[in-house]
Amino acid sequence: MRQFQKWIPSMKNYRLTLMFIALLLGLAIVLQAYSIIQIVDSVFIQKSAFTAVLPYVYGLLLAISLRVTSNYFLHWTGNQLSAHVKKSIRAQLLTRWGQDSIENIKLQQTGYQVSLFVDTVDELDAYFREYIPQTMKTFVVPLFLLIAVFFAHPMSAVILLITAPFIPLSYIIIGVQTKRKSEQQLENMNRFSGKFLDVLQGLQTLKLFSQSAKQRNILQHYNTRFMETTLDVLKIAFASTLFIELITTLGVGLVALEIGFQMIVFETLGFAAAFFVLTLAPEFYSSLKELGTAFHAGKGSLGAMQLIQTELEKEVQTVTWGQQSITPAPALALQGAEYRYPDGTTIGPITIDIPAKKTVAIIGPTGHGKTTVLNMLSSAVELTHGSLFINGIARTECSEQSWYAQMTMISQHPYVFAGTLRDNLTMGKTIDDEAIWHALQKAQLGNWFTSLQDGFHTKIGEAGRGLSGGEKQRIAIARAFIHQPTVVFFDEPTAGLDVLTEQLIAHAIQTLKSHATVILVTHRFETLQHADLLYILENGTIHASGTPEALQHERYFEAMKKGGLPDARAL
């Protein structure tokens, strides 16, 4: 709970509001009991006239109204607090993930993040909507009632004071087990959700490799573990409810026994005082007992808190930026740049100079760090050592917004969202149809577009389902033409495509280079034909650099011209 107070400072205001409402509720309960006692005593014992009873009737109506209103606003404030906390936590999760480097985000399990963002955060609802309001009520109302009973009959107040601690004590004992089980339950739920989403996304691949049955058994295993931990939590809840009811019954019985002795045997207690105490005693225990209902749900949220806290406190690989604006089509340079992966693998040191409005290709064997170098240049990762300069200015002094306004990256598998073609091309911007049409033509998608029955309103499935690999690549390139970047990064844009599609994409790249700095990673010789500079990367360092003509006798370059790739170990 304390960690949430530092993340959500405004919680203190909600707690003060809940305490004030609980005070009003305690006052309403005492006023209601007092009014009922006075009405009964006046009518049946004192035989008073109706006019003498009327003020107590008004008092009873006021008490009932105040009690109903207080209960309503207690729950309403709890709902507002829960909504505020969940909104704030989700915003902080998004901020944390947004601050992380692009490359680091790729390593996260999407299913786990979705489950954490949706289901785990929703698990906090019971704690802030029910448990905290009920805790305020349990803290204030019984104290208020205890003071009222003390003035009516001190011995009954002593009995209440002695028996009351058994209820919170049982909560503490039970809470230890509940917290541990709820953490296991949430952990199993997140594992099941994450695994289910991963299996769902790769269902076609699993079928092709006859792994559906095996994955089904794994999912069943996760589901069984989640079910077992859920049942364990329910067992604890049922057992604790029985125990709390027993304590409450015994407490009220002891108070009634004491009052009976005082009234009948010792004749030291009057009817009004005895009736007042007997009216408030069940209310006293009820306020404590009601905490039990919210207790299990609230304690169950502690597991969710722990998972969220762990996620928010994870080390973020933040890319450092400054405030200086970047001029269009900037020159880029890496000076002694290194990037170390979590497993210790290091790429670098790398020193590269990329002139403005030039096309630069990075080639080399698979697995030797080409994509990592591209990530260094695009600021998708934070450098472990060295520096990236943009127009001679250190990246740490440049504006992030200015950089992303000018650059775009087209990967080997660009992501296409579920939605219309227009949505995927404009990416939320207001663009007229003519500009979109010109972008499609430049991306060699004109003929394809004219064949679409619904035009810009054509529905596209999640992750581009219904589109070929080449169509997804060219949609990504069309986005670039609409966005009009001055720096474009390509990560093997023609890998796995047929020759015709490769030629179309190569033509689109040639169109982009007329107004932008283009940096590309490729294994295809055809894509290099219009490159101004080449960098050959081997074992995480630059092996050679220069114009295509100067490097034409390099073994790797010659192998690319022949349409093959040399063995990386032979280089």
* C-alpha–C-alpha distance, residues 339 and 316, integer Å: 15
Residue closest to 190 by CA, chosen among 133, 113, 262: 113
* C-alpha–C-alpha distance, residues 229 and 306, integer Å: 17
User: Tell me, what amino acid is at 448?
Assistant: W
pLDDT at 39: 92
Residue closest to 528 by CA, chosen among 561, 491, 486: 561
Residue closest to 508 by CA, chosen among 463, 464, 547, 474: 474
Classify each residue of 357-368 as buried b or exposed e, where b means 16 or more C-beta atoms within 10 Å of its C-beta: bbbbbbbbbeeb
pLDDT digits 0-9 by tens, 45-72? 888 888 889 999 999 999 999 999 999 9
Q: Which residues of the chain have pLDDT under 50?
A: 566-571
- DSSP assignment of 466-511 equals TS-HHHHHHHHHHHHHHH--SEEEEESTTTT--HHHHHHHHHHHHH
Per DSSP, the three-state class of 254 is helix
pLDDT at 569: 38
pLDDT at 17: 92
pLDDT at 106: 65
- Strand partners of residue 408: 488
pLDDT digits 0-9 by tens, 230-261? 787 777 767 777 777 788 888 888 888 888 88
Structural domains present in the chain: 2-312 (1.20.1560.10), 332-570 (3.40.50.300)
pLDDT at 164: 84
Residue 347 DSSP one-character state: E
pTM of the predicted protein model: 0.68
In whole angstroms, what separates CA 474 from the centre of its chain? 32
Contact 262, 153 (CB under 8 A): yes
Q: Which residues contact 60 (CB under 8 A, 6 or more apart)?
A: 32, 35, 36, 39
Residue closest to 110 by CA, chosen among 469, 518, 463: 463
Classify each residue of 153-178 as buried b or exposed e, where b means 16 or more C-beta atoms within 10 Å of its C-beta: bebbbebbeebbebbeebbeebbebb
pLDDT at 570: 37
